Structure 1
Amino acid sequence: MLTTLIRKITSNHLVMSGLYKGVSGLSLFISIPILISYLGDTDYGLWVLVFALFQWVLLMDFGLASVLKTKVPILIHENRQDLLKSYLKSTYKITAYIALFLFVFFLVLIFIIDLKTFLKIPVHSSMFVKKLFVINMFFFCLNFLFNVHKSLFVAFLKGKYAEQSIAVNQILFLASLGVLILIAPNIPSEDKLMIITLLNGLSCFLVNFLYTLFFFYKEELNLKTTVKTSKEFLKEIIVLGTKYMIIQVGLLFVFSSDNYILSSVFGPKDIVPYEIVNKYFQFPIMIMLATLSPLWSMFAKNYVQNKKAVLLASFKRFNLLFIIMFLFIALISLICPFVISIWIKDKITLPSGLILYTAIATLFRVFVTFYTFFLNGIGKLNKYIILLLLSVFLKIPLSYLFIHLNFGINSVVISTVIILLIWVVFIPLECYNIIKKIPSDE
């Protein structure tokens, strides 16, 4: 009986995705105080800026990864195997071209802009900062290509393996970081940053490469086909992919530009309190994203099959689940100062209100994420994009307004709360309006 229960749990992609994301989050939380202690506040702030750039690059795929999660379930449902192979082959080719273009583009950009002055980096030479960004950019673009496997696992309704690969990557990096600290605790700060860059880049590449091979082996799939992707199909993919890219870049701008705004005003060292609280509250978001990730392709499949009752039932289940999430976020907000005092050995002064504002932003984001996954899954994106573009235009003016009003680093979080409040009202309404238009199940 126990064996049957374990088998049921391990075969449930929603449960296992959440579990693996929990492991990833735990590894990330353990690595943060280690990095702060090893690098110091200023160099850790610099590493955060570099890593934030990594997130930007991963989303510059013109929405190809997102289109995979929407289109592949439809092609499988229609049993168009040759077109599927052709589509995957085209995706890898286009992704490789984009990776090459991005590396050259950012290489030129990094050497044109004085990053040390722009980001108010008080230590290291300008040339070292440029070199650090270039090496990271190389690894980021390399992993950009091999990162496609995550979307493939989700598209084939095996999302737990995508989260498993992330967990393995985090654990491998954490282990290599521990070895580095043991064998080289007192090397110069520039050497520390360079070695951590290499460890992060190589571990990420190794895991992504092996899981790419694992995907094609598990699905017994190869890219050998004589069928060419039609121009009409490619055009449809590019149009949909462009929409996804606008969404991805917009989301990243709203949620990940804070570090650059704060650095340009206060400097890298002042990012640390914000980053610690932000990472602390990312845990429920990470769990939610991992749990919901397989739903993207399931929404696409159920929408194509006009399963109105199934979709409405999933909405109802989430709304009930959100009550638990609300209580969980309230609890972790109350214990946040205590946890941070244990988690981060160095004394960190948190601005008054930062925990409350971040908790509210997290609560809003968790709620709205489910409904945005539905819109992404079915490809109904026009109104969502308009709302997102308005949010992008509001983000910086709102942030600087609150900075001008002396809200300090809380300013970027308050601006996010205001934007998310608008989303919480309009996005679920749009989802229910779409559901109403689906013919009732026979």
Structure 2
Amino acid sequence: MAIKIIASARKFIASLTGSDKSLTGKVNLNIIISFGLRAISVASAFLTVSFSLKLLDTNKYGIWLAISSTVSWISVLDIGLANGLRNKIAEYFALKDYASSKVDVSSTYAILLMIMVPVMLIFCAIAPFVNWNSVFNTHLDEHELMYTLIAVFIGLALQFVLKPIASILQGDQKIHKANQIALVCNVSPLIPIIVGAKYLKGSILFLAMAQTMLPVLVMLIYSIVLFSKGYKNISPSLKSVDLKKSRSLFGLSFAFFIVQIARVFILSTTEIIITRNFGGSYVTIYNLLFRYYSVAGIVLYIVLATYWSAFTNAFALNDLEWVRASIRKLLKMAFAFTAIIIVQFLLIKPVFHIWVGDKVPVPMSTSISMAIYFILCLFTDTLVIVINGSGRMRIQSIVTMITAILHIPVVLFLIRYYHMGLNAIVYATSIWVIIQGIMWRREIGVIMRQSELRAAAAGVKEADKLQTN
């Protein structure tokens, strides 16, 4: 018994130091480091919100949230390449196929540039002719609002062009390094916002510049450093761009694209629905509640994110026993994290008082429905990470697209005919999460059966080769 305990302790310590090269060891290392980095990142995000509310009033901050959320649709223009590249890197690195990795990396950057550069130019040309005050139902200075939108658009576009470096780190199961980049991107705007809160009150343009342009600089520096050192053998080059060889990447990416566009559509339209039906201050209430309850999901996702590429690796090597054991472990974690959300609900009033003071009221009914929604998300997010890792995205893309199409009609129906207010949005998204959870569980069963058949077929082929030799 003592020998087993010592052996387990040595294995755990090895995973923390990185000397354990097993799949579980890599996952454990990523989880431990990522927890520390994400804790700092979450604290930074909460401070950013607090000082942003000092820089802008509640209504103007709500408009800022609506702007950033609306422009976030630009994320879909990478046509799912970031997630597709992540899976392909994990698969190629498992098989040590670095030549294919270089082709896919180069092709990804080339496609993103070809998409984003024309889109940025078109948006900048059209922006001056749009009545943005009418779009966002507000009365801000027209020029400041327009320049804010242009700054947010260009900043987010450049971030997505530079995003593949994070996908490469994730695919190489170095999630902690990708989280390090995200942390620096989140922290870098904080100091300018603190200064702005004191000397530039009311400047929504200043907030936009700090929040979107500084992360671009951070991502550019990290990309140059990593491609000149650790990833020199797969660094992007014009000669390696080959769209024909990258067909499998684009096929997988398109499926991720469908899922991505559906999710962004729901998130971005949510802010607009609230603004147009209830006003900018209600966007702030909804957004702060969403951020508050998302903490448990963010913490769990630190674990889930480390398993995504590990699942890809395991499926590539037909290690199905590891897949099953990991699914059981992750579902147990989801049950444990439910307790965190319950505690959050019980402490919401004192926490909000410390966080944002008495500026933002906390509707109890919305707080309850939001807590239930995030509890449901704990389980669906756990299941979907297995599907993402497997790369079998057809069912997920179909289901998410259908729910996105139904989202606005259902929300407006609940608002206008049942007068549910903010709760209408939470109830609608909860329905989609329940439907998705049922479908994801069924799909995992199909994936596992198909993988077992492939593993059996591979075993038969290997046996035939041995007999022939």
Q: TM-score, normalised by structure 1?
A: 0.91
Give the Cα separation in 2 of the matches to 1:196 and 1:226. 36
Alignment of 1:369-384 (within 5 A): 369-384=381-396
| Identity rate, percent | 19
Residues 83-119 of structure 1: CA deviation (Å, up to 9, x unaligned): 2212211111111112113313433554454221122
Q: Residues 59 and 325 of structure 1: is their aligned pair in 2 closer, same or farther, counting only changes over 3 Å?
A: same
**The one of 60, 69, 76 aligned to 2:86:** 69
The reply to whether residue 55 of structure 1 matches residue 66 of structure 2 is no
Partner of 2:463: none
Partner of 1:176: 192
Residue identity in the other structure for 2:225: F
The reply to whether residue 38 of structure 1 matches residue 55 of structure 2 is yes
Alignment of 1:228-267 (within 5 A): 228=240, 231-267=243-279
Would you say the 8 A contact 1:153–1:162 is kept in 2? yes
Residues 292-326 of structure 1: CA deviation (Å, up to 9, x unaligned): 22322211111121111110001110111112111
Q: Residues 55 and 286 of structure 1: is their aligned pair in 2 closer, same or farther, counting only changes over 3 Å?
A: farther
Count of paired positions = 436
Give the Cα separation in 2 of the matches to 1:207 and 1:241. 25
Give the Cα separation in 2 of the matches to 1:170 and 1:79. 33
The reply to whether residue 197 of structure 1 matches residue 213 of structure 2 is no
Q: Residues 30 and 5 of structure 1: is their aligned pair in 2 closer, same or farther, counting only changes over 3 Å?
A: farther
Q: Please, what is the CA RMSD of the aligned residues? A: 2.5
**The one of 326, 351, 354 aligned to 1:342:** 354
Give the Cα separation in 2 of the matches to 1:148 and 1:269. 36
Give the Cα separation in 2 of the matches to 1:396 and 1:224. 41
Pairwise CA distance, 1:398: 1.3
Residue identity in the other structure for 2:378: V
Pairwise CA distance, 1:384: 1.2
**The one of 207, 211, 219 aligned to 1:208:** 219
Q: Which runs of 5+ in 2 are unaligned?
A: 1-5, 19-28, 460-469
**The one of 119, 123, 132 aligned to 1:102:** 119
Residue identity in the other structure for 2:60: D
Q: Single out whichever of 228-237 and 323-332 deviates more from structure 2.
A: 228-237
**The one of 428, 440, 443 aligned to 1:415:** 428
Give the Cα separation in 2 of the matches to 1:166 and 1:6. 26
Give the Cα separation in 1 of the matches to 2:403 and 2:132. 27
Give the Cα separation in 1 of the matches to 2:42 and 2:169. 20
Residue identity in the other structure for 1:278: F
Give the Cα separation in 1 of the matches to 2:175 and 2:181. 10
Q: Which runs of 5+ in 1 are unaligned?
A: none
The reply to whether residue 406 of structure 1 matches residue 402 of structure 2 is no
**Any idea what SS the aligned residue of 1:349 has?**
coil
Residues 226-258 of structure 1: CA deviation (Å, up to 9, x unaligned): 974555432222222111111111122234431
Residue identity in the other structure for 1:423: Q
Q: Residues 101 and 31 of structure 1: is their aligned pair in 2 closer, same or farther, counting only changes over 3 Å?
A: same
Q: Residues 403 and 83 of structure 1: is their aligned pair in 2 closer, same or farther, counting only changes over 3 Å?
A: same
Choose 1 or 2 for highest CA Rg: 2
Give the Cα separation in 2 of the matches to 1:225 and 1:138. 24
Partner of 1:155: 171
Residue identity in the other structure for 1:210: I
User: Highest relative contact order (Cα 8 Å, sep 6+), 1 or 2?
Assistant: 1
Pairwise CA distance, 1:68: 0.9
**Any idea what SS the aligned residue of 1:69 has?**
helix
The reply to whether residue 436 of structure 1 matches residue 452 of structure 2 is no
**The one of 141, 145, 162 aligned to 2:161:** 145
Pairwise CA distance, 1:429: 2.1
**The one of 153, 162, 183 aligned to 1:167:** 183
The reply to whether residue 303 of structure 1 matches residue 315 of structure 2 is yes
Pairwise CA distance, 1:141: 1.4
Pairwise CA distance, 1:131: 1.9
Give the Cα separation in 2 of the matches to 1:209 and 1:264. 37
Give the Cα separation in 2 of the matches to 1:224 and 1:394. 40
